[in-house]
A = this chain, B = another copy of it.
Amino acid sequence: MSLKNFFKELSESENTNITMTDKQICIISAAIEIFSEKGYSATTTSEIAKKAGVGEGTIFRHYKTKLEMLLAIPNYLNKSPSSKSHMSDLTRIFESPYEKFEDFIKDVIQNRKEFILKNTPLIKVLVQEVPLHPELRDTMSESVLFPNMEKLIQAIDRFKEKGQIINIPSETIVHLLLTSMMGYFFTIFIASFHFNVDYDKEPDYLAQYILHGLSITDNKIELSREAAL
C-alpha cells in the first residue's frame, strides 16, 4: 500500500523530526484513504479505526480531535522527503537562467505532474476540503501548486523582458498557469470526468497549449470591448 510507504518514509527520514509508530502510520493513511473517498465530514472515526486495524481510542491518543487529523495532512505533505526534493527542484527551475520559455514551462509542468502523481490521495483530500476549510487554502497554493511564488513571478518577468511571452500582468500569468493546472488536475483526478482521450499524451498537449497561450504571435488579438473600460 503506497500511502503507508509514504508515511514510513516520512517517519524514517532523518531530516524531519517526525517519528511515528506503526499504528500511527496505519491510522493516518487509513484516514486519508477514506477522506478521499467519502469526504472528511462523512467519514466516521470508528470507520477509520476499523480500516487501520486499531481501537478507536488509539486514534484520539494521537489526534485530539478528528479535525486535527485533517489539518495535520498539509504538515505531513510539506515534510515528506519526496515533496522536499520536488520543491527544491522547482526552486532551482525558477532560479535557472533558461534561454527559452518553452523549456522552462515544460520543466515546471513535469515537476508538478510528478509531484501530484506521487501524492494523489493526499492532494485529493486537500483539494476536496479546501472550499470548506479555509485554513487549508494557503497550504494548497504554497505547497501543492506553486511554492515560492515570488521566484516564479521573477522568472516570468525575465521572460517578459526578453519578449518571449505576452505582456500582461505577471500575477495574471500565474493565475492562468494555476488555472490550467488546477483545472486539469480537478477534472481528471478529483471529479473523474471521463474523456475519450489519450491520458499519456494529455499533459504534453497541456504544455503545448500553455506555451502557445502565453507566446507572442503575429495575429494580435484585441481584448473585447468590456475589458477596455
A196 CB within 8 Å of chain B: yes
Interface size on A, residues (CB 8 A): 65
A210 CB within 8 Å of chain B: yes
Q: Please determine whether B176 and A209 come into contact, CB atoms closer than 8 angstroms.
A: yes
Most B C-beta atoms less than 10 A away, residue of A134, A200, A218, A227: A227
Identical chains bound together, number: 2
Stretch from A16-24, A50-58, A75-83, A180-188 contacting the other chain: A180-188
Which positions 190-219 of chain A face chain B at CB distance < 8 Å? Answer: 190-193, 195-198, 200-215, 217-219
A1 CB within 8 Å of chain B: no
A168 CB within 8 Å of chain B: yes
Which of B176, B192, B204 sits near A205, CB closer than 8 Å? B176
Q: Please determine whether B178 and A183 come into contact, CB atoms closer than 8 angstroms.
A: yes
Q: Find the B residue at minimum CB distance from A225.
A: B204
**Set of chain B residues within 8 Å of A41, measured between Cβ atoms:** 39, 41-42
Which positions 3-58 of chain A face chain B at CB distance < 8 Å? Answer: 38-39, 41-42
Q: Find the B residue at minimum CB distance from A36.
A: B131
Q: Please determine whether B190 and A179 come into contact, CB atoms closer than 8 angstroms.
A: no
Q: Find the B residue at minimum CB distance from A200.
A: B227
